[in-house]
Amino acid sequence: MSESASPVTTQHNPTQNHLLRMLSTEVQQRLFPHLELVELPLGKILYESGDVLRYVYFPTNSIVSLLNVMNNGSSAEIAVVGRDGMIGVSVFMGGESTTSRALVQSAGYGYRLLAQRIKDEFNRHGELLNLMLRYLQALLTQIAQTAVCNRHHSIEQQLCRWLLLTLDRLPDNHVIMTQELIANMLGVRRGSVTESAGRLHEQGVIDYSRGHIIVTNRLKLEQLSCECYKVVKAESDRLLAFNKD
């Protein structure tokens, strides 16, 4: 499926993405005319491992998962990116490709920009460079904490962390995601996710029906999660505090 580009409307605005919003008016004026609003449908693969990155993406009301894929086709999520970030950080790191797959986890919209245009702005060695380095540190924190979480914490704790990170990147408390897809994201058996989701439902934390998850008690969800969620959120908030005049 090809991406569909749309004109910027009052309903969609680049500043719905936190990184784009944090840029100064001067940098926005250089970049915003070249942004394309694109629909990001559920399951859309923005790039595969080894692909040359022609575009970077700034999600607004969508969420994209970064997945490591094994030779046998199994996969596990290493990071989740929404309106807080950008897809395609490899363009700043001396390479034109990446070892991960970028898969739309929650449908919506985002803005894409030619990789060369953002590299040109990055190479001005100004505010975009500083912002992207801070964002990269926050992203690496999430990747590292995910690895620790997957090794040391229960599937129920992992599910709670995943739901919280997802909620932080959505406008409401409603997640559209089948248990099979969640299992693929976490790299675990579907039955394990079903059992964990059932326990959360019994405790009044979530309602779940036909791929629709509604978080009914966020405070309880945070209490049931491991410390990994708080570590990732605190570091992201510290590095990417909204500071535009």
- For tokens 């920009």, the residue is 113
Summarised one tens digit per residue, pLDDT across range 5-30 is 444 444 899 999 999 999 999 999 99
pLDDT given at position 242: 53
pLDDT given at position 76: 84
Summarised one tens digit per residue, pLDDT across range 175-230 is 887 778 787 778 788 888 889 989 999 999 999 887 788 999 999 999 999 999 99
pLDDT at 54 over 70: yes
pLDDT given at position 2: 41
pLDDT given at position 96: 74
Nearest C-alpha neighbor of 158 from the set 168, 148, 167: 148
Is this prediction's pTM over 0.85? yes
Summarised one tens digit per residue, pLDDT across range 94-120 is 777 788 999 999 999 999 999 999 999
Summarised one tens digit per residue, pLDDT across range 131-145 is 999 999 999 999 999
DSSP state of 87: B
Q: 109 near 13, Cβ under 8 Å? A: no
Summarised one tens digit per residue, pLDDT across range 143-185 is 999 999 988 999 999 999 999 999 998 877 888 877 787 877 7
Backbone angles phi, psi at 39, to 5 degrees: -80, 135
Q: Which domains does the chain have, with CATH numbers?
A: 5-149 (2.60.120.10), 154-225 (1.10.10.10)
Is residue 136 exposed (0-12), middle (13-18) or buried (19+ Cβ within 10 Å)? middle
Task: Pull the structure tokens for residue 146.
Answer: 């995910």
**What is the helix (H) or strand (E) element at residue 179, kind and residue range?**
helix 179-186
pLDDT given at position 181: 78
